[in-house]
Copies of this chain bind each other. A is one copy, B any other.
């Protein structure tokens, strides 16, 4: 017997709840999330999900446990991290943005490759909203290398001199932001790459600031 779409949705809600609260939901929590008016609807799903090997439980309060099978499926479908990581306060999960599909908002589901656990101490006072992997060498002067992962606080404005992520024709670029007399300038810190100048009348059309870089991570 295969898992149904509805059961999958319930499983997803259980997972989301654990991620958010770090303890499992009750039948009533799930019923509310799913819009059921009776907890029985939720427990019926639990029974099915347990029979199919996606959860384990005993008849105690909040004792649902997601199995590896569930985690595998969720990972396939939503690329979520293991809820075993939850329960650790101070860790947030940043969506790792892959290729940015034209037209979609940056944080659109379609753009999210996976979620990565990041300790909040790694993202500074204001936190971060998403992560990106850097492509190219345009910011080597600021010690941001090809392949580095950057963590970004979502914002559509920037202060002079800040390192920002901007969308230029649906491509994410990392640059230093400067205001000029007649617009803005996005400057690479590698002099091989010329600065991009945008006049006020063009700005907003092809170029959009999507956030400020708050952290850089690199595996060696």
Contacts and interface: CB of A to CB of B under 8 A. Distances in A.
A15 to B, nearest CB: 10
A220 interface: yes
Contacts of A91: 85, 88, 91, 117, 119
Contacts of A122: 217, 219
A31 interface: no
A87 B153 CA distance: 26
Contacts of A47: none
A117 to B, nearest CB: 4
Contacts of A63: 21, 23, 62
A210 to B, nearest CB: 16
Contacts of A62: 23-24, 60-63
Interface residues of A, number: 46
A54 to B, nearest CB: 10
Interface stretch (A32-40, A64-72, A105-113, A197-205): A64-72
A213 interface: yes
Contacts of A67: 89-90
A184 interface: no
Given A118-B119, A122-B219, A219-B124, A88 B66 contact: yes
A179 interface: no
Contacts of A65: 21-23, 87, 89
Given A88-B68, A90-B81, A218 B220 contact: no
A84 B91 CA distance: 9
Contact of A116 (B89, B121, B124, B218): B121
Contacts of A84: 22, 87-90
6 contacts: A23-B65, A26-B61, A66-B89, A68-B89, A215-B219, A216-B218
Given A66-B88, A84-B88, A163-B220, 8 more contacts: A24-B62, A67-B89, A67-B90, A68-B90, A84-B89, A91-B91, A213-B220, A217-B218
